[in-house]
Chain A
Amino acid sequence: QVQLQQWGAGLVKPSETLSLTCTVHGGSLNGYYWSWIRQAPGKGLEWIGEINHSGSADYNPSLKSRLTISADTSKNQLSLRLTSVSAADTAVYYCARGGNSRRFWGQGTLVTVSS
Chain B
Amino acid sequence: QSALTQPRSVSGSPGQSVTISCTGTSSEVSFYNFVSWYQQHPGKAPKLLISDVDKRPSGVPDRFSASKSGDRASLTISGLQAEDEADYYCCSYGGRVFGGGTKLTVL
Contacts and interface: CB of A to CB of B under 8 A. Distances in A.
Contacts of A94: 45-46
Contacts of B51: 100-101, 103
B94 A99 contact: yes
B86 interface: no
A44 B95 contact: no
A101 B95 contact: yes
Contact of B89 (A45, A60, A107): A45
B101 A44 contact: yes
Nearest to A60: B96
Contacts, number: 52
A9 B55 CA distance: 37
A103 B57 contact: yes
Contacts of A105: 45-47
Interface of A is mostly: loop
Interface of B: 3, 34, 36, 38, 45-48, 51-52, 57, 89, 91, 94-101
Interface of A: 35, 44-47, 50, 60, 94, 98-103, 105-108
20 contacts: A44-B99, A44-B100, A44-B101, A45-B38, A45-B46, A45-B91, A45-B101, A50-B95, A60-B96, A99-B94, A99-B95, A100-B51, A100-B52, A101-B51, A101-B91, A102-B36, A102-B46, A102-B48, A105-B46, A107-B45
